[in-house]
Amino acid sequence: MKSLKSYFIFPIHFVLQMTNLGFWGMMIFCFGIMRFIIPINIVSKLLLRLMHFFYFTFSIFSVGMIKFFNKVNIEVKVDEELSKYKWYLIIANHISYLDIILLIRFCAEHTSPPKFFLKKELIWLPFVGIAAWALDMPFMRRYTQDFVQKNPHLRGTDIETTRQSCAKFLDSPTSVINFVEGTRFSQAKAQERKSPFSNLLRPKAGGIAFTLASMGEQFSNLLDITLAYPQNADHPMRDMLSGDMTHIVIDVSVHPVHKKIIGDYFNNSGFRENFQVWLNELWVNKNQRIKTWMKG
């Protein structure tokens, strides 16, 4: 019976989600073109505010449909009050594309508009890529270590992209989101990369360290967000579209942006080592929380 229900719900829910994404993505893109054509500061700010409204409305409708098609408990835990008028640096684990929808919806209610650090390939994703481009989100090109060794002129490309993107965020309150694992978690990837964590990949420290070096004094807080789908960990997106999602956890730990995490990560070996220890400790605690929810 569950299988029949899922086969019935999946196509309807998928089409509605794609329609919602397509409509608001095209709206954002159209106003983004206007913003590009009319490079007047006050006009640009007004258009961006309207685009952020479309951006948040997309997430509100999307999560509304998730709740309609699923008997799901979305559990949001925040240990301090947040503001829509402050800058935040958000670091989160990454399990599914569903994470992105949930984080946008979370920010719509609690923080300033979110900007994601996205993989370069996502610019070609229908509706998502053009909307992200219009919203000034940074697209990061990932190179393997071997490839960089053969093409040393490409070393530091991501860092330069980060620097340019951070400069765009200085004018208006922004929540900068970084999935510091670099890709979505799976058990296969964890084994391949020899991750020491049962529910996470190793965090990559360089991008977040450079963001802190560029904007550290501007961020009000660092938000460590842990996402989990306790009963649907293997295929959260498929289960959500099929009406089988039951429990989502969004756990937010608010940390100060203290001086010990702002420094020269690439040229100061002592700072780099301490920063990696600090980030690894966050990941140890994050992994333990996920294990607890999985058992529950």
- Summarised one tens digit per residue, pLDDT across range 135-179 is 888 766 554 445 344 544 434 455 566 666 667 777 789 999 999
Compute CA distances 291 → 223, 229, 230, 239, 288, whole Å: 20, 11, 9, 20, 5
The domain tally of the chain equals 1
Domain with 264 in it: what CATH number? 3.40.1130
Alpha helices in 72-156 (DSSP H): 98-110, 128-134, 145-150
pTM: 0.88
- Minimum mean pLDDT range among 51-60, 228-237, 264-273: 264-273
SS3 81: coil
Does the CA dihedral 25-28-31-33 come out positive or negative? negative
- Summarised one tens digit per residue, pLDDT across range 174-221 is 999 999 998 899 999 999 999 999 999 999 988 888 888 878 888 999
Q: How far apart are CA 186 and CA 98, in angstroms?
A: 14
Beta bridge partners, 224, equal 91, 253
The C-alpha torsion from 240 through 243 and 246 to 247, rounded to 10°, is: 30
Domain extent, residue 210, equals 2-295
* CB distance 190 to 197 below 8 Å: yes
pLDDT at residue number 59: 97
SS3 220: strand
